[in-house]
Structure 1
Amino acid sequence: MIHYRLRCIGQHHEFEGWFKNAEAFTQQMEAGQLLCPHCGGQDIEKALMAPAIARKREDVPAPAPVAAMPDDVRAALQKIRAVVEAHCDDVGTNFAAEALKRHHADMESAPPTRGIYGVMQPDEREMLEEEGVDFAMMPWIGRADA
Structure 2
Amino acid sequence: MIRYDLVCDKDHAFDSWFPDSAAYEKLLAGGFVACPHCGSTKVAKAIMAPAVKRTDKGRTAPSPAPAAGPPGPAPVALLSEKEQQMRAFLRAVRRHVVENAENVGERFPDEARRIHAGETEERAIYGDASLEEVRSLHEEGIEVLPLPRLPEEGN
Q: TM-score, normalised by structure 2?
A: 0.47
| Structure with larger RCO (C-alpha < 8 A, sep 6+) | 1
